[in-house]
Amino acid sequence: MLADTISVQKLFQDRRQYRVPFFQRPYVWNKEDQWERLWADISEKADMRHDGDQPTPHFLGAAVLEPQKREGLIGVDTFHIIDGQQRLTTLQYFLAALAIVLRNEEQATLLSVVDGCLKNGNLDTMEQPDIEIFKVWPTFRDRAHFQLAMSALSFDELRERFPRSFTQSGGLKKVGVDHPPALEAIWYFAEQISQWTSKEPDTQKAARLRAISEAVFRDLQLVSIALGEQDDAQIIFETLNGHGAQLHATDLIRNFIFMRADRENAPAAQLFETLWSQFEGDFWTDEQRRGRLRKPRMEWFIQTALQSVLGEEVEVGRLYASYRRFAMGKGQSIKAAVQLKVLDGHANNYRQLVSGIGEDAIARFGRRMAVWDASTTHALALRIAASGLSDEAQKELYDDLTSYFVRRAVCDLPTKNYNKIFLNQLKKVSASELTPDSLHASLAGLEGDTSRWPRDEEFKKAWLTKKVYPGNLDAPRIKAVLSEIEAAMRPERSEEPLPSGLENLDIDHILPTSWFQYWPLSDGTKVESSEASGIGLSFMIDEPLTEKQLAIHRREEAKATMGNLTLLHYGVNRSLQNCEFVVKSDALFQVSNLHLNRSIVLLKEWDEAHINERGQALFNHAVSLWRGPRV
């Protein structure tokens, strides 16, 4: 390893190219966080030079470079940027902006100096002149825009090459467009340089441009660290980026895999294209929340895949360390290609699981569990999908997991133990054969409020008597339950398709939550809202209640149970919110084609007895949809 403090001019003046390894993250610096600060540093030094003062050097940080062997006489010397790609790329953007201004001001001498640090010469002796001409060559995701912006010779050429980014008057759009970083950086620096040089009369422009050129070339310094053949680029990269840097764990994991591929002389570029590039899309980079944590979906995926493969807990906060342990293997390390195949093998299953899109059993499980916060089951779900079991067997396994969640939610049992429960289930199936019977028996054997899988009797009692909405279940979960029952109510060969968008319907309390005005008790007695206040508390503390108060209490208890809930169009629900039953029934007959509502429109009245009766009917479907432990 050889370290040297050098100026920007010395860094870029030789005939060489600094290449960002294709697997590193793209350019992410921006105006607010980095460009403005860099410009402030450069303009401060330029002001001092223009005023005749001698500025002290400004240290930009380090660039860790790994020389690459060159075969033969053709081509330029190349260095891989192990660390510092954002810094070096930004300096190139600044020099490109400076060149545009110098060209515009016809400063040919200074322009030749800047061009010498932007472009490599002697194109005839290059293998790929259109690539090797650049001093820095970015990762593949940035290359197209980088080439277009860096080869533009003027403001007008930038406008022609990026027409969507500019207003009709020629200015860079401020809203509505995500500008390519190369364009935005060059335009920003060019505008700042132009404004700075225009602070004094035109006769001073040449002097000010010389000051700005000398400031960037002489007053900015970096520590260039060139690695030797014995230096481990991966270890150095981790040391520099593993503590407090803005790299995600997946950036470190990607670099770990492909640096290993290089050491193994594996076809790294081919592996990247065929097995990793899928993970660079928006689906995998979108941030997802779990509890208090927000992480790119790729991190949650790798955590889940590792747990599924290893059969043990993996902390997302220590994801990179866990991945390294996995890759090192128990007896010998796992080759890069094998690591990638493991991730690729789980990728489609995970996508189906979290999106619910697909025809496989795991996609159906994902659709059914979308509202149940079931991430604790994901590692087990991936293990099931990769088990080689038939679709029918996998469906049976997933159905038991779904039933476990739904039954416990309806019974208002706690969820705090789920991570431990499903990690234990994963460990069990990792240590023995996975079959529908083995998982069913394991879940059925759980005991206690924090773990048990409710039997039919407990499930039925909760279904008929528990307050679920408002109560045990939120709106998305009530809609999911009622939607599944609606589908189950339809004959298998029904000519009437299941309506789409059931989740967009309103949840309606057939007996309104504020029922007092139009809904007398079963014996015809009218009730004021004030009479219902406090009855629940009186019942709980065993205060003596009158027959009327008991009837009010029964109604108050029944109105939030499953038997009183249905789905209805938003507008209809709002217009009928507290109307009497005959009005509601007529409206349901006219506007609703849901099987959930067919029995309701046939009735002349609706009270606690009908709520219980309908609850029983719905439960007959629920007990089949979410089958419980076999006795």
Task: Label each residue of 425-478 as H, E or C.
Answer: HHHHHHHCCCCHHHHHHHHHCCCCCCCCCCCHHHHHHHHHHCCECCECCCHHHH
* pLDDT digit string, tens, across residues 385-397: 999 999 999 999 9
**Within-domain flag for 100:** yes
pLDDT at residue number 240: 64
Mean pLDDT is lowest, of 7-16, 275-284, 447-456, 527-536, for: 527-536
- Boundary-marking domain end, from 206, 236, 266: 236
How many domains does the chain contain in total? 3
Where does the pLDDT of residue 463 fall: very low under 50, low under 70, confident under 90, or very high at 90 and above? very high
Q: Is the dihedral of CA 328, 329, 331, 335 positive or negative?
A: negative
Residues 127 and 177 in one domain: yes
Where does the pLDDT of residue 135 fall: very low under 50, low under 70, confident under 90, or very high at 90 and above? very high
Residues 479 and 601 in one domain: yes
Candidates 129, 156, 161, 128; CA nearest to 146 is 161
Mean pLDDT to the nearest integer, 146-162? 97
Residues 194 and 307 in one domain: no
* Residue % of the chain over a pLDDT of 70: 94
**Within-domain flag for 528:** no
Side-chain half-sphere of 290: how many Cα atoms within 13 Å?
A: 18
Residues 220 and 268 in one domain: no
Mean pLDDT to the nearest integer, 160-171? 95
Residues 226 and 287 in one domain: no
d(CA 248, CA 318): 11
Mean pLDDT is lowest, of 355-359, 565-569, 608-612, for: 565-569
Mean pLDDT to the nearest integer, 265-286? 92
Say yes or no to pLDDT of 486 above 60: yes
Residues 43 and 68 in one domain: yes
**Within-domain flag for 534:** no
**Within-domain flag for 471:** yes
**Within-domain flag for 537:** no
Residues 210 and 281 in one domain: no
pLDDT at residue number 234: 60
Say yes or no to pLDDT of 552 above 70: yes
CA angle 61, 63, 68 (to 5 degrees): 175
Where does the pLDDT of residue 245 fall: very low under 50, low under 70, confident under 90, or very high at 90 and above? very low
Where does the pLDDT of residue 494 fall: very low under 50, low under 70, confident under 90, or very high at 90 and above? low
**Within-domain flag for 361:** yes
Residues 182 and 303 in one domain: no
pLDDT at residue number 573: 64
**Within-domain flag for 526:** no
Residues 489 and 447 in one domain: no
Mean pLDDT is lowest, of 379-388, 389-398, 540-549, for: 540-549
Query: Domain of 145?
Result: 2-236
pLDDT at residue number 246: 60
- Boundary-marking domain end, from 455, 479, 494: 455
Where does the pLDDT of residue 271 fall: very low under 50, low under 70, confident under 90, or very high at 90 and above? very high
Residues 212 and 353 in one domain: no
Residues 413 and 281 in one domain: yes
**Within-domain flag for 376:** yes
Say yes or no to pLDDT of 22 above 70: yes
Residues 22 and 58 in one domain: yes
pLDDT at residue number 214: 97
